Amino acid sequence: MTTQLIDGFGRVHRDLRISVTDRCNFRCTYCMPEEGMQWQRREDLLSFEEIERLARIMVERFGVNAIRLTGGEPTVRARLPVLVAKLAALGVDLAMTTNGVTLPLLADELRSAGLNRINISLDSLRADRFGELTRRNDLARVLEGVEAARQAGFDPVKVNVVVMKGVNDDEIVDFAHFGRDRSVVVRFIEFMPLDADEGWSSDQVMTQAEILASLSAEFELVPVARTSAPASRWRYADGRGEIGIVASVSQSFCDSCDRVRVTADGQFRNCLFATGETDVRALLRSAAGDDEIAVALQRSVSSKWAGHSINQVHFIRPRRSMSEIGG
């Protein structure tokens, strides 16, 4: 029987984000420290079978219809296409967020295994800056990855750009041209306080209004009606594509949030910024049946707060960084 994963504010949750590893082949400055990350032990990560069981409970009991694989970098998890095939068989809209660097090798296989959608993170088109931001010199490989994703048939390919003041805000128009020229949808993302180095401050956030002002100086943009997705969208008046802005900080979309998350070590989170977690791994590895696990998930969601309160005095930063939660 399907019930809904509903919280105390009436929000129904249908979008599950699964971090499949906390490891990454990059070290983006706004996400991970250069050194000193304590990786989770292999045996602490959920196995593919455990992920599949959890996903099945959520799909069959609660009508979850969208799953996104993330990390860390999801493609560093060995045999990822095997997991993709298992989850695709559940009949959900299956997506992945990746840094793109392994897509020249993996894009076709992931597509054939049943991955529907892909977002590639790319924060600078300048090789030197890309190197500083990711602490890896792989811009050419990521650009190849974008092309490989397109060639594999992902349509549209989305490129996520975290915009930080004084860091890459001078590339907003370059990214718009990039999207138009390569037929990819560029989504600008506001910088959030989930950086591992805890260096975030609100004056580094390039807000939706500021991003839009930069773009409007160069292009005529027409708003597109909003869906439940977090990105606000605009199309170019000349018909050459569209852009999105994810304004998590300046215009939080907590009111319509329909997402829940599970970390690579099997901790269920009812909000990106949650300060508490439910240990689903312990349940999956106990004698607990699906009913008991479903009750624990529902209990977690029913206690979800109204919103994240970034920029307010009572905001509490989560213990985990973005690379451990998955974005």
Q: Which residues bind ligand SF4 (CB under 6 A)?
A: 24, 26-28, 31-32, 71-73, 99, 121, 323
- Nearest Cα to Cα of residue 295 among 283, 307, 313: 283
CA dihedral 150, 85, 296, 268 (to 10 degrees): -40
CB atoms within 10 A of CB 225: 5
Among ligand SAM, ligand SF4, none, what binds residue 32 when CB lies within 5 to 8 Å by partner kind? ligand SF4
- Are 72 and 19 in contact by the 8 Å Cβ rule? The answer is yes
Whether the link from the prior residue into 156 is cis, omega within 30° of 0, is yes
Among ligand SF4, ligand SAM, none, what binds residue 196 when CB lies within 5 to 8 Å by partner kind? none
With CB under 6 A as the contact rule, the residue among 104, 179, 230, 327 that binds ligand SAM is 327
With CB under 6 A as the contact rule, the residue among 21, 160, 214, 300 that binds ligand SAM is 160
- Are 212 and 176 in contact by the 8 Å Cβ rule? The answer is no
Query: Least distance (Å) from ligand SAM to the CB of residue 14?
Result: 20
Among ligand SF4, ligand SAM, none, what binds residue 87 when CB lies within 5 to 8 Å by partner kind? none
Burial of 236 (0-12, 13-18, 19+ CB in 10 A): middle
CB atoms within 10 A of CB 117: 17
Q: Which region among 141-149, 176-184, 191-199, 275-283 touches ligand SAM (by CB under 6 A)?
A: 191-199
With CB under 6 A as the contact rule, the residue among 73, 242, 258, 265 that binds ligand SAM is 73
Q: If binding is defined by CB under 6 A, does position 189 make contact with ligand SAM? A: yes
Q: Which region among 82-90, 107-115, 192-200, 280-288 touches ligand SAM (by CB under 6 A)?
A: 192-200
Give the DSSP H/E element, type plus range, for residue 80. helix 80-88
Q: If binding is defined by CB under 6 A, does position 71 make contact with ligand SAM? A: yes
Q: Nearer to ligand SAM by C-beta: 120 or 176? A: 120
Report how far apart, in Å, the C-alpha atoms of 223 and of each of 88, 186, 229, 248 are.
32, 15, 14, 18
Q: If binding is defined by CB under 6 A, does position 102 make contact with ligand SAM? A: no
CA dihedral 26, 23, 249, 143 (to 10 degrees): 40
Q: If binding is defined by CB under 6 A, does position 24 make contact with ligand SAM? A: yes
Q: If binding is defined by CB under 6 A, does position 195 make contact with ligand SAM? A: yes
Among ligand SF4, ligand SAM, none, what binds residue 191 when CB lies within 5 to 8 Å by partner kind? ligand SAM
Q: If binding is defined by CB under 6 A, does position 267 make contact with ligand SAM? A: no
CA–centroid distance for 134 within its chain: 17
DSSP strand pairing (221-224 vs 185-190)? unpaired
Q: If binding is defined by CB under 6 A, does position 98 make contact with ligand SAM? A: yes
Task: Using CB under 6 A, list all residues that contact ligand SAM.
Answer: 24, 30-31, 70-71, 73, 97-99, 121, 160, 162, 189, 191-192, 194-195, 322-323, 326-327
